[in-house]
A and B are shown apart, each in its own frame.
Chain A
Amino acid sequence: MKTHPQDEALHQLLQHWTVEPRPDPGFRAAVWARIDSARRMAATWSGWLRLNVARVSYCAAASIVFAGTGGGLLAASQANREREQLIQRYVVSIDPHQQVNAPR
């Protein structure tokens, strides 16, 4: 088989070519971080909850406090409205003018 003179030159060049990668000081840490991250991937929801217990607890507590306060305020406002209606019913029952003027 015939070889091209340029192939020979290329061959010579490749004989002397070496790769000298620059050392990466964070390489080892990055590899371990990826291994650790893979280890931390929970297989179940309860496992995930255990891993994120602080964040989940905070969100659950905030949700209970906000919703509980909102429900209480709504109930208080409705009860106040009902009380006003009862007061008005009583006042109408003793005030002849309000009975005469009551819309029918």
Chain B
Amino acid sequence: MNYRWITALAVVALGVLAGGASYLCFHHTMSMSSGQNHDSLMWVRHEFKLSGEKLAKVEALHEAYESVCAEHCIAIADARKELKRLQNADASPAEIKSAADKAKAIDARCIASTEAHIKEVAALIGGEEGRRYLSIVLPRVVLFDHAGPASLDLHPTPTHDTPAGK
């Protein structure tokens, strides 16, 4: 084989090695910083480098809010289920309006409660990092389409800390 071709193959192999090493190096670093344990609070812990007392407080707050969140889930699903039942049963407009108002009120209460929780966590994190937490998390809750098609399945979602079927 011509030396020129041997050299070209060697240069390509060198490039592949360099690319692979670079990928492994960067991806390893970022994976370590994201954490391998995928519980829902993992991102907050690593992104804001929480440790010690601050971490314990944030974890306690998160844990406490999980039960509140579960209650809200049931309330939202119940209200939507009732509204759907009335609509399907051709109930009077007044009854439907009352159920819709109730569902809206529950939605508003849940959104307010979630926002309050997020602000509490941000205050616990504190300073610039707290503001950064708020700027990342709050828009994802506020801008979420809360009137989207609802699931009436009340089993815990697999995304929750307590896995479904546990």
> Given that A93-B161, A100-B77, A101-B151 are known contacts, is A75 also in contact with B26, CB under 8 Å in the complex?
yes
| A67 and B19 form a contact (CB under 8 A) | yes
Residues of A within 8 A of B26 (CB): 71-72, 75-76, 79
Tally of contact residues, A, Cβ under 8 A: 43
* Interface hits, B54-71 → A, CB 8 Å: 62, 65-66, 69-70
> Given that A42-B3, A98-B144 are known contacts, is A71 also in contact with B22, CB under 8 Å in the complex?
yes
The main secondary structure of chain B at its interface with chain A is helix
Residues of A within 8 A of B110 (CB): 96-97
CA distance A45 to B25 in the complex (A): 32
| A89 and B76 form a contact (CB under 8 A) | no
| A100 and B76 form a contact (CB under 8 A) | yes
Contact of B11 among A59, A71, A89, A95 (CB under 8 A): A59
Number of contact residues on B: which range applies? 35 or more
CA distance A92 to B98 in the complex (A): 29
| B43 and A86 form a contact (CB under 8 A) | yes
| A69 and B22 form a contact (CB under 8 A) | yes
Contact of B73 among A74, A86, A96 (CB under 8 A): A96
| B11 and A75 form a contact (CB under 8 A) | no
| B151 and A75 form a contact (CB under 8 A) | no
* Interface hits, A74-104 → B, CB 8 Å: 74-76, 78-79, 82-83, 86-104
Residues of B within 8 A of A42 (CB): 3
11 further interface pairs, Cβ-Cβ under 8 Å (given A83-B47, A89-B159): A67-B17, A68-B18, A69-B22, A76-B30, A82-B30, A89-B40, A93-B161, A94-B62, A97-B110, A99-B157, A102-B157
